[in-house]
Amino acid sequence: MGNGLIFPEGFIWGAATASYQVEGAWNEDGKGESIWDRFSHTPGKVKNNDTGDVAIDHYHRMQEDVALMGDLGLQAYRFSISWPRILPLGRGKVNQAGLDFYDRLVDSLLEKKIDPFVTLYHWDLPQALQDEGGWPVRSTAEAFVEYADVVSRYLGDRVRHWVTHNEPSVVANLGYLLELHAPGVHDDDLAAMRSAHHLLLAHGWAVPVIRSNSPGSEVGIVNNMSYTPTASPSRADRQAQLHGDSLWVRMYFDPLFGRGYPADRMLDLKEKGVFDICKNDLILPGDMASIETPLDFIGLNYYSRNIIRSQAIPEAENLPVTLHPQPKETLNYTEMGWENYAPGLLQVLGRLHFEYQVPKIYITENGASYSTAPDANGRIADYERLRYLREHFRVAHEAIDLGVPLAGYFVWSLFDNFEWGEGYSQRFGIIWVDYETQERILKDSALWYKDVIARNGLVIADN
Ligand code: IFM
C-alpha cells in the first residue's frame, strides 16, 4: 500500500538535452563550425580529448529517439538549436538543411503529443562570430536577434515555449573568465562583464521578436542556481558568499527583474580598475529597459548545494564556528562531485518566488551523474539517480504546496551525452548510450520516471 504525492493537473513532465551534447554531425549538411567544435578539436581542452563530432548521433537517429520519448510518455522535450546549423557564419545566409532538421524534429514530437521547449542558445556560438570578438562585442547580440528571428519565424507556428539562453552566467564566467569552456580564451573580468551584458541584451532584444513570430507562446530564459549557505557565520564566509552570489546569480536575475546590475559587483569591478559603470561605453541608453522586458517564465537549473567557505582566510582563523559539516566525508555526492541536496531546491525556488516574484517557473534541468552500467542481463539499476530524482520531486511538490508557481520539470538528461569539459566521462542520462554502437537502453530511473509521468506524481511507500 502506498500514499501518493500527486502534482497539479497540467503539470508538465519532460526531459532535456542540448544540440552540441547530442547531435554529432558536426560538419554535415552545411553546418558551420561552432566554438565547441574548435575548442574540443584543440588538444588538452576536453577530458580525454573527447569531441561532440559524433556525440550520440541524434542528428541521424532523431526518429528513433523521439520514439523512445513517446514510449516514456514524455509530455515535453527541451532541446536546443545549433546556431551554426542555421546560420553557418552566425548571420546572413540561412542553411535550409539545418532548419529542415528542426522542422522534422518539431513535427515528430507533436505527432507524439510531446511539447517542444526550444532553447536558442545552449553554448554553441558560431566560430565566425567568436572570430569577430564573441560575446564581449555588441554585434554578437545583434546577430543573435537575427538568428532568433529566422528560427522563430520558421517554427513559431508550432513551438509554444521558447528559451533564449541557457545559463548565461556559465557562458560568461566559464567561457570568458575561467577558461574552462569554449571559447576558452584567457580573458578577464571585463570580458565576462561585457559578455554578461551582451547575453542579456541579446535576450531582451529577442523576446519581442519571438513573441511577434510566435504569437501566444511563452518566452523565458534559463538560469542556473545552487543553494549556497556559508560554512560559518563569519564575516569572511559571508563576504565570499555575497561575492559568488553577485557574480553568478544577481548579475543575471537583478537586471532581468528591473533592478539593474548588482552594486557590489559593480563596486568590485571598479575597485579592480576594470569597469566603471558611471563612465562606460558598454551599457547604452535603452539597454537596461530592453533587458527587463517582462518574461512568461524563468527556467531554473538546480543540481546541488555548494557550501561557501572563504579562501581568503585559513580555516582555523575563520571563526566563530562552522555551521555545516565539511561535506565530502559525510554526505552524498554524485560523480560530478556535486552534493545531492534536495532541500536546497526549496531554498532556491523560494528565493525566486519571494525575492523576484517570478510569474512562472519550470525546472528546466535537474539530475545526477552516475555511471552505473548494464549488468549481465542488460539491466541498468541506477538506484542513486532514481533516489536523487525522487527526493527532488518530493521537494518540488512541497514547493507547489507552499505557493511556488512551479509548472513543470525537465530531467537532465534524457540521454547520456557529451558533458562539456568532462567529455563522455560523466553520464547524466536516464537512457544509457553505448558510445561504440549507439545502442540506447532505458535505465531503471527511466522506467520509474515513466510511471511518475503516467500517475502525475509519486507513490510514497508507507514504510
Ligand atoms: O550538461 C550540463 C548542461 O548542458 C547545462 N547545465 C548543467 C548540465 C550538467 O553539467
Measuring from atom 1 of ligand 1, which residue has the nearest CA? 419
What angle do helix axes 189-213 and 168-176 make, rounded to 10 degrees?
150
Question: Residue 350: how many CB atoms within 10 A of its CB?
Answer: 14
Ligand 1 pocket test: pick from 165, 412, 416, 426 the residue with the most ligand atoms within 8 Å of its Cβ.
Answer: 412
Q: CA 380 to CA 363: how far, in whole Å?
A: 25
Ligand 1 pocket test: pick from 365, 414, 415 the residue with the most ligand atoms within 8 Å of its Cβ.
Answer: 365
Per-residue model confidence (pLDDT) at position 185: 81
> At residue 14, what are phi and psi to the nearest 5 degrees?
-140, -170
167: annotated active-site residue: yes
161-213 pLDDT, tens digit each:
999 999 999 999 999 999 999 999 877 899 999 999 999 999 999 999 999 99
Q: Which domains does the chain have, with CATH numbers?
A: 2-461 (3.20.20.80)
Per-residue model confidence (pLDDT) at position 330: 46
Measuring from atom 9 of ligand 1, which residue has the nearest CA? 419
Mean pLDDT (the chain, rounded): 95
Q: How far is CA 199 from the centre of its chain?
A: 14
33, 218, 339, 365: the catalytic one is 365
Per-residue model confidence (pLDDT) at position 77: 99
Regarding the beta carbon of 339 and ligand 1, being less than 6 Å apart is answered no
Q: CA 118 to CA 159: how far, in whole Å?
A: 7
Cis peptide before 413 (omega within 30 of 0): yes
Per-residue model confidence (pLDDT) at position 462: 44
Q: CA 370 to CA 256: how far, in whole Å?
A: 34
- Nearest CA to 404 out of 392, 394, 396, 415 is that of 396
Task: Judge whether 31 and 128 are in contact, CB under 8 Å.
Answer: no
Per-residue model confidence (pLDDT) at position 244: 97
C-alpha cell at 230: 556559508
Dihedral Cα 157, 161, 165, 170, nearest 10 deg: -150
| CA angle, 420 then 135 then 278, to 5° | 130
pTM score of the predicted model = 0.96
Q: CA 253 to CA 257: how far, in whole Å?
A: 6
Q: For 248, which DSSP code?
A: I
Task: Judge whether 279 and 201 are in contact, CB under 8 Å.
Answer: no
pLDDT lower than 50: segments of the chain = 1, 329-330, 462-463
- Nearest CA to 395 out of 338, 351, 345 is that of 345
Regarding the beta carbon of 18 and ligand 1, being less than 6 Å apart is answered yes
Q: CA 31 to CA 99: how far, in whole Å?
A: 11
Q: Is 127 helix (H, G, I), strand (E, B) or coil?
A: helix
| CA angle, 329 then 332 then 336, to 5° | 100
Q: CA 169 to CA 175: how far, in whole Å?
A: 9
C-alpha of residue 170 to centroid of ligand 1, in Å: 10
Q: 363 has which bridge partners? A: 300, 409
Per-residue model confidence (pLDDT) at position 178: 92
C-alpha of residue 319 to centroid of ligand 1, in Å: 35
16-30 pLDDT, tens digit each:
999 999 999 999 999
Q: CA 122 to CA 89: how far, in whole Å?
A: 17
Residue 280 burial by Cβ neighbours in a 10 Å radius (0-12, 13-18, 19+): middle
